[in-house]
Structure 1
Amino acid sequence: MHTLRFKKIDAFASQYSTGNPAAVVYLDSAEKLSSAKMLQLAKELKGFVSEVGYVSPGMDTDYHLRYFSSEREVAFCGHATIAMLNDIVANNKAMQEKPILSISTMTDRLMVENRYKSEKSVYISAPPARFSSKNISVTDVVSAFDCHINDIDQLQPIQIVNGGLETLIVPIAGLESILSVTPDLQTLNKFCIDIGVDIIILYSSKTVTQGSTYRTRVFAPTFGYLEDPATGSGNSALGYYLLKHGKWDGEMIKIEQNSFRDAPNYVQIFSRETDIENCQVWFGGGAVLRIDGEYVLC
C-alpha cells in the first residue's frame, strides 16, 4: 500500500472555462513508485483526469517528470506540466525567485520560464520539432472524422509534426466546421494507430474571442479518451507548423481551444531562436488547484 501526496489541478483554466484536469503525484524519488503502479493509478482515475503527472527531484535538473494516461505512459504531456510547475512555484518561495527552472522528461530536458509573480503563469519550452514526410490524404481525414470535404481547408497542408508527441495537424475551413466535428472514438483511434500518430489537432484562423489568433481542437483517442480540452504539446506542434510555413512570426499569440463556442480555454505560445536556423516554441498558462490531499494506492 502506498500513501501518496496527491493534487487535482486544472491547467489553462480561467474564470470563464474549466481548463484541462491533471492529477499530480509528488514522489520523494523517481524510484519510489514502479511504472506498473503509476499506470494502475492512472487507470483508477480514468474519466476523472486526462493524465497523471509524477514529480520527483531531478538528477541534473530541478525536477523529473513522468506522465501516464489510463492506457499507457505518455512521452510528454503539456497540460500536466503546466499544472505541476504552476503548483510547484506557487508553493515554494525559493522557486518563485528563480526566473528559469529545468525539468527532465523521458525524452527531453526542457526549460521553464517562471512568470508566476507577474502573471500567475509558467511557460514551458516544447521539445524540438520533428517533421514527418508521410503523406496523409484529405479523403482519409474526412473518413476518420466523418465530416464533409469542404470542412477541410485544402489550401493549407495536412502534416505530421512532433512537438513532444506525434501530432497530425489538420487545417479547417471555418469556425462552424471546427466546432461541429463529432468523430467516433474507435474509428479515430484506429486511424491514429494506422498512420502512427499520438494526437490530432484541428485548427482554424476563425475565432470567437477578440485577441485570439486560432481556434483549435485536439483529439487523443490512443490515450483512452476522445478530446483534450487544452493542450501544450498539440498547440506547440501547431506553432512549429506555422513557423515552417511562414504563417507566424513567433511573437506571443493566444489560442482558444475546445468545442464550446463561447467558453474556450486559452493557451499562449511564442518562439525563440535557439540558433541561426532553428526556433523553439514555448507554451504557457496558469492553473487552478481543485483538490489537495493524499491518494492511497493498494
Structure 2
Amino acid sequence: MKKYGYKKIDAFTSNKSLGNPAACIYLKENENLSHSKMLNIAKEHKGFVSEFVFCSSSLEADCKLTYYSSECEVDFCGHGTIACMYDLIKNTESLLFKSEILMDTNKKGILTVYNELRDQDAVYITAPKPIYIGTNITAKEAAENLGISVESISDKYPIDLINAGLPTLIVPISNLKDEINIFPDIKKLEEFCNNNGMDIILIYSTEVKDNKNIAHTRVFSPKFGYLEDPATGSGNSAFAYYMLKNNMWDGNPVSIEQGGIDRIFNIVKLATKGSNVIFGGSATVKISGEYYL
C-alpha cells in the first residue's frame, strides 16, 4: 500500500463564505498514477468535493496539474487550480518568493500563476486562451431548460458560448432576485448540455448585492455529476472574455460575487495581463494528511 500527500482545500473563500471544495494529491518527483486510478480516486470523492486535482512534477514547468470530476477527466478546473496552487506556493520555499510560477496542465498547456500572497493573500491564474464558439440557442430554449420564464432572460446582452477552459454557455438574467433563485432540474440540464456541446452554463446579473462587485454569477455543471459549482475559475474566465467582447468591462481589476440564495456569496477576482484574462482568489485548507492507495 502506497501513501500520498493529500489535502482538502476550499477555493475562493472570502470572509465567511465556504468557497468551492477541491481535493489534491501531491505526487513526488517521478511518481505517477494511471488514468483509471485517478478516476477511481475522484469517484470516491463524489459529493465531498467538486473536483480532484493531481499535482505532479514537470520537465517544462514548476509543476503539472491534472483534473478529474467523479465522472471523467476534466480539461481544466479553475477552482481546483486556485486551491492547489495557493497551498503549493505557500508551503514550498522555492516558490514562495517567486512572482510568477509556470504550471503545466494535461489539456491546456502551460499557464502562468501570479503570486500575490503577500499583498492580497491570493494567487491569480492565466485563463486558457478563449475560443469564441457562438451559439444559436434562443432565450426560449435557455429559459425552458433552466426552468424559468423567458421574461427572466435579459435582452440587453446576448446569449453566447465561449470556451476559456471549458465550453460555457452564458445567459443574462434580468435581475438579481430571479438569478439567485434559479434551481434547474439536473437531468434536463445535463441533456441540454450534452446536446449542444456545452460543459457548463453560467447565468449572470449585472445587479449585485455588494456594489464593490461588477456582476453576480452562478454556474451549473450537471455534466460533471453535480448541479451547481459555487465558485468557478473557468466559468468566470469565459464571462470575463464575454464582458470584454460586449464592452461591459475595461480589463481593470474587478470582483465577481457568485452563488445562489442558499449560500454566502463567494468572491472571484478578475483582471487582465496584456490580452489575457487572469482570475484569482484565496483558499482555505480544511483537511491535511495522507491518502493510502
Q: How would you bin the TM-score normalised by the shorter chain?
A: over 0.9
CA drift of 1:136 comes to 1.0
The question of whether the paired residues in 2 share the 8 Å contact of 1:113 and 1:124 is answered with: yes
Determine whether 1:63 maps to 2:59: no
Could you say which residue in structure 1 is the equivalent of 2:156?
155
After TM superposition, list the pairs within 5 Å mapping 1:31-46 onto structure 2. 32-46=32-46
3-state SS of paired residue (2:214): strand
Could you say which residue in structure 1 is the equivalent of 2:211?
210
Determine whether 1:294 maps to 2:290: yes
Could you say which residue in structure 2 is the equivalent of 1:138?
139
**Are residues 139 and 2 of structure 1, via their aligned partners in 2, closer, same or farther at CA, if it must alter by over 3 Å?**
farther
* Aligned counterparts of 1:107 and 1:21: Cα–Cα separation in 2: 22
3-state SS of paired residue (1:189): helix
Could you say which residue in structure 2 is the equivalent of 1:276?
none
* Aligned counterparts of 2:204 and 2:129: Cα–Cα separation in 1: 21
* Aligned counterparts of 2:144 and 2:265: Cα–Cα separation in 1: 26
Determine whether 1:227 maps to 2:224: no
**Are residues 272 and 178 of structure 1, via their aligned partners in 2, closer, same or farther at CA, if it must alter by over 3 Å?**
same
The question of whether the paired residues in 2 share the 8 Å contact of 1:30 and 1:64 is answered with: no
TM-score norm. by structure 2 comes to 0.97
* Aligned counterparts of 2:189 and 2:252: Cα–Cα separation in 1: 33
3-state SS of paired residue (1:42): helix
Amino acid at match of 1:81: T
Q: How many aligned positions are there?
A: 292
* Aligned counterparts of 2:291 and 2:236: Cα–Cα separation in 1: 31
Amino acid at match of 1:163: A
The question of whether the paired residues in 1 share the 8 Å contact of 2:181 and 2:261 is answered with: no
Amino acid at match of 2:181: S
The question of whether the paired residues in 2 share the 8 Å contact of 1:96 and 1:117 is answered with: no
The question of whether the paired residues in 1 share the 8 Å contact of 2:64 and 2:103 is answered with: yes
The question of whether the paired residues in 1 share the 8 Å contact of 2:6 and 2:289 is answered with: yes
CA drift of 1:263 comes to 1.9
3-state SS of paired residue (2:76): coil
The question of whether the paired residues in 2 share the 8 Å contact of 1:208 and 1:262 is answered with: no
CA drift of 1:182 comes to 1.1
Could you say which residue in structure 2 is the equivalent of 1:127?
128
The question of whether the paired residues in 1 share the 8 Å contact of 2:103 and 2:111 is answered with: yes
Amino acid at match of 1:290: K
After TM superposition, list the pairs within 5 Å mapping 1:52-131 onto structure 2. 52-105=52-105, 106-131=107-132
**Are residues 79 and 30 of structure 1, via their aligned partners in 2, closer, same or farther at CA, if it must alter by over 3 Å?**
farther
Could you say which residue in structure 2 is the equivalent of 1:257?
258
* Aligned counterparts of 1:185 and 1:79: Cα–Cα separation in 2: 21
Post-superposition Cα deviations, 1:82-121, rounded to whole Å, max 9, x if no partner, equal 0011001111122111000001112221000001122211
The question of whether the paired residues in 1 share the 8 Å contact of 2:127 and 2:234 is answered with: yes
The question of whether the paired residues in 1 share the 8 Å contact of 2:113 and 2:126 is answered with: yes
* Aligned counterparts of 2:232 and 2:117: Cα–Cα separation in 1: 19
Post-superposition Cα deviations, 1:42-101, rounded to whole Å, max 9, x if no partner, equal 000000000000001111110110000000000000000000110011111221110000
Amino acid at match of 1:35: H
* Aligned counterparts of 1:151 and 1:107: Cα–Cα separation in 2: 35
Determine whether 1:180 maps to 2:181: yes
* Aligned counterparts of 1:249 and 1:261: Cα–Cα separation in 2: 31
TM-score norm. by structure 1 comes to 0.95
Could you say which residue in structure 2 is the equivalent of 1:239?
240
Post-superposition Cα deviations, 1:103-161, rounded to whole Å, max 9, x if no partner, equal 11122210000011222110000001100133111111011111011110022100000
**Are residues 219 and 30 of structure 1, via their aligned partners in 2, closer, same or farther at CA, if it must alter by over 3 Å?**
farther
CA drift of 1:20 comes to 0.2
* Aligned counterparts of 2:250 and 2:36: Cα–Cα separation in 1: 43
CA drift of 1:261 comes to 7.0
* Aligned counterparts of 2:84 and 2:175: Cα–Cα separation in 1: 34
Amino acid at match of 1:263: I
Q: Which runs of 5+ in 2 are unaligned?
A: none
3-state SS of paired residue (1:212): coil
* Aligned counterparts of 1:264 and 1:24: Cα–Cα separation in 2: 24
3-state SS of paired residue (2:89): helix
**Are residues 123 and 3 of structure 1, via their aligned partners in 2, closer, same or farther at CA, if it must alter by over 3 Å?**
same
Amino-acid identity (%): 43
Q: Which runs of 5+ in 1 are unaligned?
A: 274-278
CA drift of 1:281 comes to 0.5
* Aligned counterparts of 1:134 and 1:204: Cα–Cα separation in 2: 20
The question of whether the paired residues in 2 share the 8 Å contact of 1:208 and 1:261 is answered with: no
Could you say which residue in structure 1 is the equivalent of 2:268?
267
Root-mean-square deviation (CA, aligned residues, Å) is: 1.2
* Aligned counterparts of 2:165 and 2:287: Cα–Cα separation in 1: 28
